[in-house]
Amino acid sequence: MILIPEKKSKPVKKFFDGFNEVILKMIDLIMLAAPYGVFALLAALVVESPSVDLFKALIWYAFTVILGLLIMIAFYNLLVWVITKKNPSFFLKGISPAQLLAFSTSSSAATLPVTMERVTEHLGVDEEVSSFVLPIGATINMDGTSLYQAVAAVFIAQAFGMDLSLGVQLGIIVTATLASIGSAAVPGAGMVMLVIVLAQAGIPEAGLALIFAIDRPLDMCRTAVNVTGDASVSMIVAKSLGRLHDPKVKDWDDNYKSN
């Protein structure tokens, strides 16, 4: 598209922009209607469930996802430490406002402006690197989401008493990675894409009802991890290109002064 005149490529760009908006709105509508459908599905499950085991299992499931996410954050810190020689407290202090915003909005896209500001000004990544790596990262780098999808798929399979062969488990890893790349950076998108992982592994999609009730808190946690991953990668890329500087925090009126 960049090889043809902008006037010609503009309609194509507009088409894809519009298509993207339509998909996001569809997810919005699905998520609005979902609680009622899930309530009905869950009601049937609760009434038919012979014991409280299901709820205990849900707590274990949430615990497993959160433990995995914590391990992921520790791994990012280690990577940043080893490659860029910046210690974990510097990294976490710099990125924590973005993590908190990600946690409260459950959206990497909504957090993007704050992630950009923190990474550029507080972690010292050159704007040339952050303005390329972070928008791409917010859209396709969702490691927290892929971890969640894999754990959720295994949990649902176990809840239905299915045995997963090694091949199916490997398939779950591959599709969870691809589905997380395809997930939009908005609340609940990871769960919508989980359908693909379940279908590929032959796990009943009705199992989604099992995990819907606790999806929001887990979405908050995985979004914080997604944003942390984007920040770590931009630091590592900046380091490898020699574009990692000392942080230079701007004052709110810096632009005014320089004008």
Rounded CA gap, 55 and 250, in Å?
A: 49
Of 106, 141, 175, 177, the one binding ligand ASP by CB under 6 A:
106
For the chain, how far is it from start to end, CA to CA, in angstroms?
36
Hey, how many other C-beta atoms are within 10 angstroms of the C-beta on 229? 21
Stretch of 26-34, 60-68, 103-111, 157-165 lying at the interface with ligand ASP (CB under 6 A): 103-111
- Residue 223 in contact with ligand ASP, rule: CB under 6 A: yes
Of 219, 221, 231, 232, the one binding ligand ASP by CB under 6 A:
219
Place of tokens 């609760």: 46
Stretch of 35-43, 51-59, 65-73, 178-186 lying at the interface with ligand ASP (CB under 6 A): 178-186
Stretch of 47-55, 60-68, 105-113, 119-127 lying at the interface with ligand ASP (CB under 6 A): 105-113
Is 84 in contact with 242 (CB distance < 8 Å)? no
Stretch of 13-21, 28-36, 170-178, 184-192 lying at the interface with ligand ASP (CB under 6 A): 184-192
- Residue 190 in contact with ligand ASP, rule: CB under 6 A: yes
Q: What tokens appear for 84 in the block? A: 């860029």
Rounded CA gap, 118 and 125, in Å?
A: 9
Is 154 in contact with 204 (CB distance < 8 Å)? no
- Residue 143 in contact with ligand ASP, rule: CB under 6 A: no
80 or 186: CB nearest ligand ASP: 186
Rounded CA gap, 205 and 177, in Å?
A: 18
* Closest residue by beta carbon to ligand ASP: 190
- Residue 183 in contact with ligand ASP, rule: CB under 6 A: yes
Contact letters (x/-) for ligand ASP, 122-141, by CB under 6 A?
A: --------------------
Rounded CA gap, 77 and 162, in Å?
A: 36
Is 120 in contact with 249 (CB distance < 8 Å)? no
